[in-house]
């Protein structure tokens, strides 16, 4: 045999030499949950090792991460039920929990990259990403709320705004609103292909943001569809998105690959809460090797074409020295 591929696998040095994909701390974005209060740190029961932080402890966590070389963070708020209403008005109200968190992180760590979530569900009494009327999600009326929310985030210091709502036209609407108000340098990371997935459960527990009625299938994508992601991606690119995101990650590696092959924009993958919970449960029960299964998962996103990975494993892989 002239060709023996095993020759390039015969030692660790050679395997490292020919490795095609590499994972770096700069590829990772760490999602962090925020709660009101002081000196609070409460674990999410369905996500071992992941916590909700009051702002003072959030700052300590960000500092700890940055000391490890982890510099990008996506913030998500747990909003008290009494503050929620049908139009999510608290989402852009001056001095709310989320805006204070953004301001404090940027004030204390100006070099950190803060990604913010734009969607109504954490603030909505209906638990949906849009305004609900007679059981229907109103698309165009929701855009006004999303625009106000995005502007509030930009004013608070957000580096990247990530609309996760899946309303039609929201990237163009938000881009215009940001540009018209002097925020031309604030980036948009669009949740381009966000699927109506079963893997979001622990996240909704963390934020207490599950829908109060119905489901999200009229605006999130059908898991059976792939070509539809190309339509969403083209619209987002045309409307001014700076990143295209696929969510969830593991069940949709083909979609990450599809967007990577067809668009020149950076592709983000969201390694979601359910994926995290599965690996944690399996490793804690001794069914999987934790380090190998986590690193294999994260490398699969890079191999598929993701340039950024939002993952709850981000701090852990750096703390434990798993990035070689």
- Tens digits of per-residue pLDDT, 2-49? 999 999 999 999 999 999 999 999 999 999 999 999 999 999 999 999
Q: For residue 14, is it within any domain? A: no
**CATH code of the domain covering residue 51:** 3.20.20.70
Catalytic residue list: 194, 247
The CA-based angle 81-62-70, given to 5 degrees, is 125
**pLDDT per position as a tens digit, 108-159:** 999 999 999 999 999 999 989 999 998 899 999 999 999 999 999 999 999 9
203 pLDDT higher than 90? no
Q: For residue 222, is it within any domain? A: yes
| Res 213: pLDDT | 76
Q: Which residue is associated with the tokens 């990450």?
A: 256
Query: How far apart are alpha carbons 180 and 130 in whole angstroms?
Result: 23
Query: How far apart are alpha carbons 100 and 96 in whole angstroms?
Result: 6
Q: Which residue is associated with the tokens 């950190």?
A: 112
| Res 127: pLDDT | 86
The reply to whether the predicted model has a pTM over 0.85 is yes
Range with the poorest average pLDDT among 115-119, 202-206, 310-314: 202-206
| Res 201: pLDDT | 81
Q: For residue 8, is it within any domain? A: no
| Exposure class string for 74-106: b at 16+ Cβ within 10 A, else e | bbbbbbeeebbeebbebbbeeebbbbbbbbbbb
Beta strand pairing status for 243-247 and 51-53? unpaired
Task: Check residue 250 and report its DSSP letter.
Answer: G
Q: What percent of the chain has pLDDT over 90?
A: 92
Q: How many CA atoms lie within 13 A of 199 on its CB side?
A: 20
Residue with the bigger pLDDT between 323 and 210: it is 323
**pLDDT per position as a tens digit, 173-194:** 999 999 999 999 999 999 999 9
Q: For residue 5, is it within any domain? A: no
Q: Region 297-319: what's the mean pLDDT? A: 97
Q: For residue 19, is it within any domain? A: no
Query: How far apart are alpha carbons 104 and 89 in whole angstroms?
Result: 22
Q: Region 69-87: what's the mean pLDDT? A: 95
Q: Are the CB atoms for 147 and 136 separated by under 8 Å?
A: no
| Exposure class string for 52-63: b at 16+ Cβ within 10 A, else e | bbbbebbbebbe
User: Quick one: angle between helices 55-67 and 97-108, nearest 10?
Assistant: 40
Query: How far apart are alpha carbons 33 and 44 in whole angstroms?
Result: 9
- The answer to whether 20 is a known ligand-binding residue is no
| Res 167: pLDDT | 95
Q: For residue 93, is it within any domain? A: yes
- Count Cβ atoms within 10 A of the Cβ of residue 162 and give its class: 0-12 exposed, 13-18 middle, 19 or more buried: buried
| Res 209: pLDDT | 66
211 pLDDT higher than 80? no
| Res 65: pLDDT | 98
Q: For residue 134, is it within any domain? A: yes
Query: How far apart are alpha carbons 82 and 96 in whole angstroms?
Result: 13
| Res 271: pLDDT | 97
Domain that holds residue 92: 24-319
| Res 244: pLDDT | 98
> What does R_g of the chain's alpha carbons equal in angstroms?
20
- Count the domains in the chain: 1
Share the mean pLDDT of the chain: 95
| Res 128: pLDDT | 93
Query: How far apart are alpha carbons 318 and 315 in whole angstroms?
Result: 5
Q: Region 307-323: what's the mean pLDDT? A: 96
**pLDDT per position as a tens digit, 220-257:** 999 999 999 999 999 999 999 999 999 999 999 999 99
Q: For residue 145, is it within any domain? A: yes
Which is nearest to 123 in space by CA: 70, 165, 170? Answer: 165
């Amino acid at each position: 045999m002239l060709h023996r591929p095993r020759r390039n696998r015969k030692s660790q040095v050679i395997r490292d030499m020919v490795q095609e994909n590499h994972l770096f701390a700069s590829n990772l974005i760490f999602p962090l949950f925020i709660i009101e209060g002081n000196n609070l740190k409460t674990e999410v029961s369905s996500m071992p090792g992941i916590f909700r932080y009051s702002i003072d402890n959030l700052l300590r966590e960000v500092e700890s991460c940055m000391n490890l070389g982890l510099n990008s963070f996506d913030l998500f708020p747990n909003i008290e039920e009494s503050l929620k209403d049908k139009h999510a008005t608290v989402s852009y109200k001056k001095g709310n929990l989320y805006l204070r968190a953004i301001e404090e992180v940027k004030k204390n760590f100006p070099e950190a990259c803060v990604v913010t979530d734009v969607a109504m569900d954490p603030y909505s009494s209906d638990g949906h990403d849009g305004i609900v009327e007679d059981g229907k999600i109103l698309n165009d009326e929701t855009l006004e709320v999303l625009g106000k929310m995005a502007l509030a985030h930009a004013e608070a210091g957000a580096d990247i705004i990530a609309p996760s709502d899946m309303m039609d036209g929201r990237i163009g609407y938000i881009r215009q609103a940001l540009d018209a108000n002097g925020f031309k340098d604030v980036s948009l990371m669009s949740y381009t292909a966000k699927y109506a997935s079963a893997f979001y459960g622990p996240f909704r527990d963390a934020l207490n943001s599950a829908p109060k009625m119905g489901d999200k299938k009229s605006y999130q994508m059908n898991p059976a569809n792939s070509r539809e992601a190309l339509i969403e991606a083209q619209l987002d690119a045309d409307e001014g998105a700076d990143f295209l995101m696929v969510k969830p990650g593991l069940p949709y590696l083909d979609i990450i690959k599809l967007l990577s092959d067809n668009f020149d924009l950076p592709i983000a993958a969201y390694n979601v809460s359910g994926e995290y919970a599965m690996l944690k449960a399996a490793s804690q029960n001794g069914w999987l090797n934790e380090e190998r299964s986590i690193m294999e998962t994260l490398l699969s996103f890079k191999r598929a074409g993701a340039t950024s990975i939002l993952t709850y494993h981000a701090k852990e892989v750096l703390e434990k020295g798993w990035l070689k």
